[in-house]
């Protein structure tokens, strides 16, 4: 049944989302504040704010919590499908391996192509095309991860040796990702934005996602191990 995995994923996702929100609040938000102050100094005054910064910071936890519940629910559904098809054994290892694969496909590979930028960077007129390019990259990189898993499973079933199997799948992933990087549009030029602040923001964004996916994999795995122990009693 999918329902237990869905509930488990939503609970783990909520926890992971709140942990990611805490990381973003203490590590990432100071860099956002710096970027906003820089934009205001360059523009010569304050722009019109729909929400104050204090309201935005409180809303950060609502956003990451909602994101966590949503992604966690989808993670639970994906786990229910892949559970008995994964090479890893045990709820703990399965959860961590699936979370790691999704982190790579949904965030890490797209991040290398399109690293995060502060909200003040980029031409507002191009936000539509930039968003479309990013989500196209996410969808295609997830397909690459899925294809790599399927290829690895097929080669394992044919009893291909581990070194050959891993090299073949690894080279295939590198070739596919390289092709995506060449075909899709280039990342926007940040212009004269201070490089130190830009990379501090990007690293904090990477850290936030790393905290989320690690938290999701760990929490889901612990809940799964607990459920397994109950079933054996």
Predicted pLDDT at 143: 98
How confident is the model over 94-125, as pLDDT tens digits?
Answer: 999 999 999 999 999 999 999 998 877 777 77
**pLDDT classification of 61: cutoffs 50, 70, 90:** very high
Residue 120 has phi, psi (to 5 degrees) of -90, -5
CB-based burial label for 48 (10 Å; 0-12, 13-18, 19+): exposed
Q: Residue 3: how many CB atoms within 10 A of its CB? A: 9
Q: What is the chain's mean pLDDT, rounded?
A: 91
Domains of the chain by residue range? 1-121+193-233, 123-189
Are the beta carbons of 181 and 140 closer than 8 angstroms?
Answer: no
Predicted pLDDT at 7: 97
Q: For residues 1 and 181, which has the higher predicted lDDT (pLDDT)?
A: 181
pTM of the model: 0.91
Q: Is the pLDDT of residue 198 over 90?
A: yes
Predicted pLDDT at 49: 60
Measuring CA to CA, how many Å separate 59 from each of 31, 102, 208, 232? 17, 26, 16, 42
186 three-state secondary structure: coil
Predicted pLDDT at 233: 64
Q: What's the whole-number mean pLDDT along residues 132-159?
A: 96
**pLDDT classification of 16: cutoffs 50, 70, 90:** very high
Q: For residues 39 and 137, which has the higher predicted lDDT (pLDDT)?
A: 137
Sign of the CA dihedral with 206 first, then 207, 212, and 217 last: positive
Predicted pLDDT at 144: 98
How confident is the model over 29-38, as pLDDT tens digits?
Answer: 998 888 888 8
Residue 153 to residue 170: CA distance in whole angstroms: 13
Q: Is the pLDDT of residue 207 over 80?
A: yes
Q: Is the pLDDT of residue 229 over 60?
A: yes
Q: Is the pLDDT of residue 46 over 60?
A: no
Q: What's the whole-number mean pLDDT along residues 178-192?
A: 91
Residue 122 to residue 186: CA distance in whole angstroms: 13
């Amino acid at each position: 049944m999918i329902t237990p995995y869905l509930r488990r994923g939503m609970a783990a996702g909520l926890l992971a989302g709140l942990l990611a929100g805490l990381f973003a609040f203490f590590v990432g938000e100071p860099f956002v504040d710096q970027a906003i102050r820089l934009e205001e100094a360059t523009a010569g005054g304050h722009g019109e704010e729909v929400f104050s910064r204090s309201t935005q910071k409180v809303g950060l936890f609502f956003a990451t919590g909602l994101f966590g519940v949503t992604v966690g629910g989808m993670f639970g559904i994906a786990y229910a499908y892949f559970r008995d098809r994964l090479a890893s054994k045990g709820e703990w290892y399965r959860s961590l391996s699936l979370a790691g694969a999704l982190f790579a496909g949904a965030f890490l590979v797209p991040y290398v192509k399109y690293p995060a930028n502060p909200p003040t960077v980029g031409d507002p007129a191009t936000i539509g095309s930039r968003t479309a390019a990013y989500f196209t990259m996410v969808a295609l990189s997830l397909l690459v991860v899925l294809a790599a898993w399927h290829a690895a499973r097929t080669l394992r079933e044919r009893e291909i040796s581990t070194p050959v199997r891993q090299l073949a799948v690894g080279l295939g992933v590198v070739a596919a990702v390289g092709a995506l990087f060449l075909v899709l549009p280039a990342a926007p030029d940040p212009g004269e934005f201070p490089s130190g602040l830009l990379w501090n923001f990007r690293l904090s964004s990477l850290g936030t996602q790393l905290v989320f996916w690690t938290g999701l994999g760990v929490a889901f795995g612990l809940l799964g191990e607990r459920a397994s122990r109950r079933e054996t009693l």
